[in-house]
Chain A
Amino acid sequence: MEHIVIIGNGISGVTAARHIRKLSDKKITIISGETDFFFSRTALMYVYMGHLKFEHTQPYEDWFWKKNRITLKKGFVTAVDHAQNQLIFQNEETLSYDTLIIATGSKPNKFGWPGQDLDGVTGLYHKQDLERVTQYAPDPKTCKRAVIVGGGLIGIELAEMLRSRNVPVTFLVRESSFWNGVLPAGESALINDHIKEHHIDLRLGTNLKEIIADEHGKAKAIVIQETDEVIECDLVGLTAGVSPNIDFLKDSGIELGRGVKVNRFLETNIPNIYAIGDCAEQHEPIGSRRPIEAVWYTGRMMGETVAQTICGNRIEYKPGHWFNSAKFLDIEYQTYGWVFAKPKENENHFHWKHEDHAKCITIAYDKDTHLFIGINTFGIRMRHEIFDRWLTAGKSVEYVMEHLKDANFDPELYISYETQIIDAFNTENNTTITAKPKSWKRIFSKA
């Protein structure tokens, strides 16, 4: 029987395993050195915050794996010998495979800062990172201050975590405004204010110079590049992005770039080896997507796709329209289609902000054709399916405005802002659009 071995028990590896099991009877083994069972990495923050217990982050009960004949093996793979179709483990054990799926995910970036490997310095990615944060910053007495370096989605999550236990936080962000490489200026400014509202010491345009150790080799302070200011702290969070976790493949003969190079079928240069999820790097970017996408749902979709290919239905990885979501402290964010930080040559941005300073939207559209390109929403939920359909159908921005009520996904009885948004759009563009009432017929039509 064909033996499929998957390195990595994250969302992509586990999705691949589940779908291969659905489609076939092949022997499946999942290897992880991190945890015994699959868990949702995105939920680690909630364990520290006390919203969840670690067991709640595991989507499947422990019996699930045996019942579905998926063997779980704990261990770290140190090398792949593709000539022998063999994996070599840290403890020198070996394991043979017929087909190999590399799904090893990411690791936090470290940019060679002095002191980056000291005790009390951590990323926020692995379960072990959560354990470190809990160890070094269990409460404000043990951790008088924490410094977070890197203003992305993980950085703000770590800040939220620490604040939930009243640990004072200094947040160093390289950019002049939070996440402004991705978010348009208005939105980025809104999040800056929201961060400060949560009593987080936000330092924009600030870089880390070095981390200083105490006599036990534990971080005790950091130095800021620009000012040489020293900030004493008991925990340093390094959250300046992630990169593929593929060091163990260095001399394997598998083609590597920043990640494991794959074609659209998620195949590497070695015929029976595939790579999926965060660690896979497309030869050519797909649409406006990056060649490496460290996003939860792309990992899942690659897992679904590679399972098809391995089970005899060779199929291209074709992610649909870009979408994503996040939560910045109390403000939810969703995006559908592309809204770039700076509008491209042919694009206009329509921006609306609510007076409460906690809700806003930005819509990108083509200046000339008025084609709807994308939407960012803050504090308002939108229906994924509707925007996906509108993007496919190439609807105009006016159409989107007119039918905005169909797209609203806020809980029932919430105040809705479509009228305000459309009024603002009309004023800005001298149009006379009025909102159509929400229509179940349109929402559920398959067009």
Chain B
Amino acid sequence: MKGIKYTGLVIFITGLAIFTALLFMGKYEVTSEIFDTFISNKGVKSELFINTFKEKIVGKTYTSQVQLSADIRSILETVNTTHETNQEWDKIIWGKSHNIAYDFIKPAGKGTVQDNKGIFWWLTFGLGIIGGLLFILPNVILLGPPGIKNDGIFLNSATNKGWIGILVFVYLVAFYLLLYFFPDLIVNWTYILDPISQSLSGGLASQWFVYGFLYCTIMTVMAVRMYIKYRHNRYQIVRTTSVLFFQIGFAFLIPEILVRFNQPYYDFKNAFPLDYDFFFDWNINILINSGGLGVFMLVWGIVLTLVIVPVMVYFFGKRWYCSWVCGCGGLAETLGDPYRQLSDKRLVAWKLERWLIHGVLVFSLVMTAATLYSFFTEADTVLGIKTQNIQYWYGLLIGSWFSGVIGTGFYPILGNRTWCRFGCPLAAYLGLVQRFKSRFRITTNGGQCISCGNCSTYCEQGIDVRAYAQKGENIVRSSCVGCGICSAVCPRGVLKLENGPETGRINPTEVLLGNDVDLMNFVNKK
């Protein structure tokens, strides 16, 4: 069994190595067709750009996309600077330089990877999946009888911030930086997914398709791990199936298929303000101009945030979204599960959490207010600040850095729910509802707690569950996503997630901790 496991590991690492090596393979040539298409699609009016580009790049074969990207961006910069100096505003080529470079490089690839998309898919995704499963499946036997098997978690460098953890951290951060800021450097990853993308939406794969497909693949493989690890726990099994279903169905397949039918790309479960650009003018315009379905999407998005989300939180707690439906939550509960114990449990972390997450909520609401103000009044600025700038900074700081690079990249260092705990504006909103108007709580079972600390340690949200349990208090916290792991790891059956009447939800009941009623009456009255 162990042999199979380590063979799986070797296969997985081989797949990962080839996946990484892909970035250093292939040849690129921007042909005149590619160039002309770009010029006409973008409506480029700068002769300087056209001439320089034709002279320096078109028809030239590059062996590295990094060099090609550098050349394209250098031309862009020179051209735009010249036009700026001459105040020829209509000739400037707008857009992020790496995205423009991407548009050239994506069709420019040729050679090994382009010619062997299927083979390279198998050598990367294929080996990764097979290796991952071979590594995970033997656990059915190796873990022994069903039950909580957290053996060695703090003795293992992968899960205790050791060198493996650091390596994974570096890799993940690098991945997110490339994905968000350097899409032109990862075109080779898009090639191997072109066939799948074409079969779904009809179009070629973008870097976001790569991300979406990778996301679903990783979640599926790691869900298998969850099924094995928690095979005695039906709550975990059903919950894992739920997040997997919503990720693959709602976040990945449905939007792709919508595109095939010329409908807007739309994730029906992605609620504002997590979906922070829902009210951006371009999105509203797309939806309004897409006929009946588009208008339905617009109305649905508003109803989802204003009605469905709070009503569901009232009945079930924020868990219905955060750990049953949400994509970010889905990744955190599958890929992130091995890192849940790394969350910071200190009181200062809780204080920081409340400032940060509510700060982001306010930021997102202010940005949206400004956006809608601009949308309806057609004014570019609000109180002297450009609406576009607010959107840009939110997108960069919150959308890319916080939720992506830090939120997921830092899994092996800060735990798996950093974004959900400190940053997600939707979680902040759900949390407020959960704290003040909900039937959900984690019930503490009288006096059975022995203060062992498993619940607090394995709380991905850094809630000091034990602090409540040992006092016989129910846990009613805005940040609780209801993953149910505290209840699972408790050796004494102390914790139960449940929805019940609001009365008695927060206050402990009178017969507390098994001490005699007379005394406890006295203590409670104090």
A-to-B contact residues, CB < 8 Å? 11, 22-23, 40, 42-43, 46, 49-53, 56-59, 61, 164-165, 194, 197-198, 296-297, 300-301, 304-305, 308, 313, 315, 318-321, 323, 325-327, 329-330, 332, 334, 358, 381-385, 388-389, 409-415, 440-441, 443-444, 446
Task: Using A323-B447, A384-B445 as known contacts, say yes or no to A411 and B496 having CB atoms under 8 A apart.
Answer: yes
Q: Is the CB of B456 within 8 A of A315?
A: no
Is B33 an interface position by the 8 A CB rule?
no
Does the CB pair B500–A318 fall under 8 Å?
A: no
Question: Are A59 and B147 interface neighbours, CB within 8 A?
Answer: no
Q: Which of A51, A381, A389, A444 has a CB less than 8 Å from the CB of B496? A: A381
27 CB-based A-B contacts, threshold 8 Å: A40-B451, A42-B451, A51-B457, A52-B453, A56-B457, A58-B453, A61-B346, A61-B347, A194-B145, A198-B145, A300-B513, A304-B523, A308-B523, A315-B522, A318-B519, A320-B516, A320-B517, A330-B145, A330-B147, A330-B148, A330-B232, A388-B514, A409-B493, A409-B496, A412-B496, A412-B498, A440-B501
CB contacts (< 8 Å) of A43 on chain B: these are: 450-454
Residues of A within 8 A of B487 (CB): 411
Chain B residues whose CB sits within 8 angstroms of the CB of A384 once the complex forms: 445-448, 514
Contacts of A49 in B (CB 8 A): 150-152
Most chain B CB atoms below 10 A, which of A22, A297, A304, A358: A297
Number of A-B contacts (CB under 8 A): 181
Partner of B515, one of A164, A301, A332: A301
Contact between B147 and A329 (Cβ–Cβ < 8 Å)? yes
Find out whether the CB atom of A304 lies under 8 angstroms from the CB atom of B515.
yes
A323 near B514 (CB under 8 angstroms)?
A: yes
- Residues on B with beta carbons closer than 8 Å to the beta carbon of A164: 151-152
Q: How far is the CA of A443 from the CA of B441 in the complex (A)?
A: 15
From A305, A332, A358, A440, contact of B493 by CB (8 A): A332
Contact B447 A327 (CB under 8 A): no
Other-chain residue from A197, A325, A411 in contact with B448 (beta carbon distance below 8 A): A325
Instruction: Give the interface centre of B238, B497, B514 by most chain A CB atoms within 10 Å.
Output: B514
Min CB–CB distance B434 → chain A (angstroms): 16
Report whether B151 and A51 are in contact in the complex, using a CB–CB cutoff of 8 Å.
yes
Mostly, the B contact residues are loop
Residues of B within 8 A of A323 (CB): 446-448, 514
Complex CA distance for A197 and B145, rounded to whole angstroms: 8
| A50-B513 contact given A40-B451, A412-B235, A412-B497, CB 8 Å threshold | no
Least Cβ–Cβ distance between A129 and chain B, in angstroms: 16
B234 beta carbon closer than 8 Å to chain A: yes
Ranked nearest first, the 3 interchain pairs of A and B with the lowest CB-CB distance are A384-B446, A330-B147, A318-B516
State whether the Cβ of B504 lies closer than 8 Å to any Cβ in chain A: yes
In the complex, are the beta carbons of B501 and A50 less than 8 A apart? Answer: no
Closest Cβ of chain A: how far from B350's Cβ, in Å? 11
- A57 near B515 with CB under 8 A, answer no
Which residue of B154, B453, B514, B522 contacts A319 across the interface (Cβ within 8 Å)? B514
Take A52-B457, A332-B493 as given contacts and tell me if A409 and B516 are in contact as well, using a CB distance cutoff of 8 Å: no
Residues of B participating in the A interface, judged by any CB pair closer than 8 Å: 144-148, 150-156, 232-235, 238, 346-347, 443, 445-448, 450-454, 456-457, 466-467, 470, 484, 487-489, 491-493, 496-498, 500-501, 503-504, 509-511, 513-519, 522-523, 526
Which of B144, B447, B456, B516 contacts A198, CB < 8 Å? B144
Min CB distance, B437 to chain A, in Å? 18
**What is the minimal beta-carbon distance from B172 to any residue of chain A, in angstroms?**
24
B519 in complex: contacting residue of A23, A308, A413, CB < 8 Å: A308
- Could you say which residues of chain B place their CB within 8 Å of the CB of A413? 234-235, 238
Residues of A within 8 A of B144 (CB): 198
Known: A50-B155, A52-B457, A383-B445. A319 touches B516 (CB 8 A): yes
In the complex the two chains form, what is the Cα distance from A329 to B149 in whole Å? 10
Which chain A positions have C-beta within 8 A of B484? 411-412
Closest to A332 in B: B493
- Known A-B contacts A198-B144, A381-B445, A411-B484; the reply to A327 vs B452 at CB < 8 A is no
Contacts of A334 in B (CB 8 A): 448, 492-493
Are the C-beta atoms of B152 and A50 separated by less than 8 Å? yes
Q: Is the CB of A411 within 8 A of B519?
A: no
Q: Looking across the interface, which residue of chain B has its beta carbon closest to that of A324?
A: B448
Given contacts A43-B453, A59-B467, A409-B496, contact A297 B238 (CB under 8 A): no
With a cutoff of 8 Å between Cβ atoms, the chain B residues found around residue A415 in the complex are: 234
Residue of A334, A411, A441, A446 with highest tally of chain B CB at under 10 A: A411
| A321 to B446 Cα, complex, angstroms | 12
Complex CA gap A230/B522 in Å reads 58
Chain A residues within an 8 Å CB radius of B443: 409
Contacts A51-B457, A52-B457, A325-B492; A305 near B234 (Cβ below 8 A): no
Shortest distance from the beta carbon of B476 to any chain A beta carbon, whole Å: 15
When chains A and B are docked, how far (Å) is the Cα of A330 from the Cα of B148? Answer: 7
Residue among A308, A382, A388 facing the most chain B CB atoms (10 A cut-off): A388
Give the distance in Å from the alpha carbon of A304 to the alpha carbon of B517 in the complex. 13
Contacting residues, chain A, for B232 (C-beta < 8 A): 330
Instruction: Report the bound CA distance from A381 to B495 in whole Å.
Output: 10
Complex CA distance for A446 and B517, rounded to whole angstroms: 12
Q: Are A51 and B514 in contact (CB under 8 A)?
A: no
Q: Flag if A319 contacts B515 (CB, 8 Å).
A: yes
Complex Cα gap A43–B504 (Å): 30
Question: What is the bound-complex CA distance between A332 and B452, given in angstroms?
Answer: 15
By beta carbon, the residue of chain A nearest B517 is A320
Report whether B511 and A388 are in contact in the complex, using a CB–CB cutoff of 8 Å: yes
Contact between chains at A52 and B154 (CB < 8 Å): yes
Shortest distance between the CB of B323 and any CB in chain A (Å): 13
A320-B517, A334-B493, A385-B509 are known; give 13 further A-B pairs, CB within 8 A.
A51-B454, A51-B457, A56-B457, A164-B151, A301-B447, A319-B516, A323-B446, A329-B145, A330-B145, A330-B147, A409-B443, A412-B235, A444-B509
